[in-house]
Each structure stands twice: as C-alpha cells, then as structure tokens.
C-alpha cells in the first residue's frame, strides 16, 4: 500500500486527490498538512474520517511514503525542504512558483525524488511533447497560446501556458521569440517571432489551453481541456506511484509517464 500525504488538503485540488485516491487500488491517503493556524478539528468536520490532519510538518511526513502538494508556493517550498530532510518523495502541482520556490525544489531534489508539473493531466503531458515538434516543423508560422481558467485562479498566465511557451522557445532555435502577454492598445501589430499568451479568467472553467499555429492561408489549433479536476488528481497519484523508489533527482511528469 502506498501511503500518501496531501499538502493543501483543504483546497479544491487537495480534496479532489482525496476523492480520486479512494478509487485507485494500492493507494491510500493517510494524512493532510494544514496551513499554520488552522484548527484540525474544524477541518476534520468537512473531510472523511481516519485522516491524520496536522499543521506539524515532521509529524505529517512521519506517516507517509509520498507527499502530494497542491497548495501555495510558500508552503510548497517549506514542505519540500522538510520532505528532503525526512527522505519523503515529493510530487508538486502548485503553480505560480518564483525563483526561490523553484530553488527549494531543486535543492530538495538533491536528497529525494521530486516531480513538479504545472499540469498533471495526461492530455496536457502529451500536448507538451507534441508542441516542440510542431514549432520546429512549422518554423515560420505564428504561435499564440490561449488559456482559460476559473475566476478564482491566483496566477496568470497559467503554469501550463508558461511550460508550453518555454517548450516552444527551446524548439525555435533560429528565431528568438518575444513573449507578449495579451495584446492591448499600442501593441496591436504582431511582430515576427512574437509568442502571444492570452489568459482568460471566467466562471468555473477547470482549465483549457489552446496552441494556435497560423500561416497566411492556413492554421492548426490544438486544444486540451480538463473537464474535471479529477484529471489532474489521477495524474498526480500516478506520478506518486512512479516516483517511489527512484533515486534522488528532479523528474518531469513526461519522463515518469513516457521515459
Ligand atoms: N499541476 C496541476 O495539474 C494543477 C491543477 C490544478 C491546480 N493546480 C495548482 O494547485 C494549486 C492549488 O490549487 P487549488 O485550486 O486547489 O487552490 P485552493 O482551492 O485555493 O487551495 C489552496 C490550498 O493551499 C492552502 N494555502 C493557500 N494559501 C496558503 C498560504 N499562504 N500558506 C499556506 N497554505 C496556503 C489552502 O489552505 P486554506 O484552505 O487554509 O486556505 C488550500 O489548502 C494552485 O497553485 C493551482 O494553480 C495545479
């Protein structure tokens, strides 16, 4: 049995991981890390029984085989450092990380296996693999990324849009594209090599990413959309299963799935 602990168990994704894990054989969620100051008794009232809920990181890590984190960048960094000390593999889906947060994950990866992915859905992982090939093959086509998410999302553009943009930049070796966020007054004209990213925030949209490649007379559009957070939860649980037993290091979700 793989014992999972969830960092951010009170959030939308934390609760979804908990729900999906009940359908996956060989996996059990046994613990949840709460943010400092939250009363475990209050939280327990809205979650299934039998979970060890605590804001105490060492206690949380003692009872689990792998940590799955969908929380806030500051908590991600602290939890990753503690997981490294405790020797617990770390799966993180938290987005909006800045340089110090990424560094904390990299340092943790010197001692434990770590996977961070902005999108744990299978379809998005495949899209991320396809995009460099398309960007290289259609080398002089314009590329724009359009992402849509629910109104409560805290970061923009999405981590997935950033990951797609980085994959495109790396693939376009000869042209150095300039990233343009949105397109407002004074920026209407598209310049050669630009990579536009457009973030839409509306309603309850779970997450949709479109890669638009366009030439003068034709265009190609690939869209992935998550119809439920369960897609991300299933992927994160699969990543946890595949991460256990690996040597310390920083793994991509694609590497764990297809490597
Ligand atoms: N990689 C993927 O596939 C994927 C998919 C969906 C979402 N995400 C990302 O996962 C993260 C969580 O998303 P969500 O929709 O579940 O968010 P959410 O519903 O807002 O939940 C956030 C969780 O983090 C905790 N938290 C928030 N701010 C905190 C802080 N300053 N310090 C410590 N803990 C804090 C919350 O605790 P309280 O309840 O106490 O506030 C809650 O447990 C986001 O970064 C989101 O972009 C990733």
pLDDT in tens, 61-119: 999 999 999 999 999 999 999 999 999 999 999 999 999 999 999 999 999 999 999 99
Residue identified by tokens 């994160």 is: 236
Residue-range domain boundaries for the chain = 2-120+229-258, 122-225
Does ligand 1 lie within 6 Å of residue 249's CB atom? no
**Residue with CA nearest ligand 1 atom 27:** 72
Verify whether residue 149 is a known catalytic residue.
yes
pLDDT score of 225: 96
Residue 213's CB: how many other CB atoms inside 10 A?
19
Query: 64 vs 4, 21, 159, CA distance in Å?
Result: 6, 14, 27
Which of 57 and 36 is assigned the larger pLDDT? 57
Q: Select which of 72, 101, 116, 153 is catalytic.
A: 153
Q: What percent of the chain has pLDDT over 70?
A: 98
Give yes or no for residue 70 CB within 6 A of ligand 1: yes
Identify whether the C-beta of residue 169 lies closer than 8 Å to the C-beta of residue 177: yes
Q: Tell me: the pLDDT tens digits for 107-132?
A: 999 999 999 999 999 999 999 999 99
With left for phi above 0 and alpha for psi between -120 and 50, is residue 170 left, alpha or beta? alpha
CATH superfamily label, 2-120+229-258 = NAD(P)-binding Rossmann-like Domain (3.40.50.720)
Among protein residues, the one with the nearest Cα to ligand 1's atom 24 is: 71
Residue-wise pLDDT tens digits, 228-258: 999 999 999 999 999 999 999 999 999 999 9
pLDDT at residue 175, as a whole number: 60
Which among 171, 146, 144 is positioned nearest to 158, based on CA atoms? 146
CATH top class, domain 122-225 = alpha beta
Question: How many CB atoms neighbour CB 134 within 10 A?
Answer: 19
Nearest to 224 by CA among 235, 215, 216: 235
């Amino acid at each position: 049995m793989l014992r999972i602990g969830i960092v951010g168990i009170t959030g939308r994704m934390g609760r979804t991981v908990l729900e999906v894990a009940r359908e996956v054989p060989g996996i059990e969620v046994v613990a949840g890390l709460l943010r400092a100051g939250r009363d475990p008794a209050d939280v327990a009232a809205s979650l299934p029984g039998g979970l060890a809920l605590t804001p105490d990181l060492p206690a949380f890590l003692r009872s689990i085989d792998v940590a799955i984190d969908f929380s806030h960048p500051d908590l991600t960094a602290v939890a990753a450092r503690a997981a490294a000390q405790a020797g617990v593999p770390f799966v993180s889906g938290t987005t909006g990380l800045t340089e110090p947060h990424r560094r904390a994950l990299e340092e943790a990866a010197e001692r434990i296996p770590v996977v961070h992915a902005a999108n744990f859905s299978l379809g998005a992982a495949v899209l991320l693999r396809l995009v460099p090939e398309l960007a290289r093959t259609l080398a002089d086509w314009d590329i724009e990324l359009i992402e849509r998410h629910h109104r409560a999302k805290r970061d923009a553009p999405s981590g997935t849009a950033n990951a797609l943009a980085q994959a495109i930049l790396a693939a376009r070796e000869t042209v150095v594209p300039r990233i343009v966020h949105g397109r407002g007054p004074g920026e209407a004209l598209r310049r050669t090599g630009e990579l536009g990213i457009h973030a839409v925030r509306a309603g309850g949209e779970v997450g949709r990413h479109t890669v638009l490649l366009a030439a003068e007379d034709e265009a190609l559009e690939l869209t992935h959309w998550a119809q439920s957070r369960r897609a991300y939860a299933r992927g994160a649980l699969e990543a946890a299963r595949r991460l256990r037993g690996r040597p310390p290091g920083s793994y991509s979700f694609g590497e764990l799935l297809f490597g």
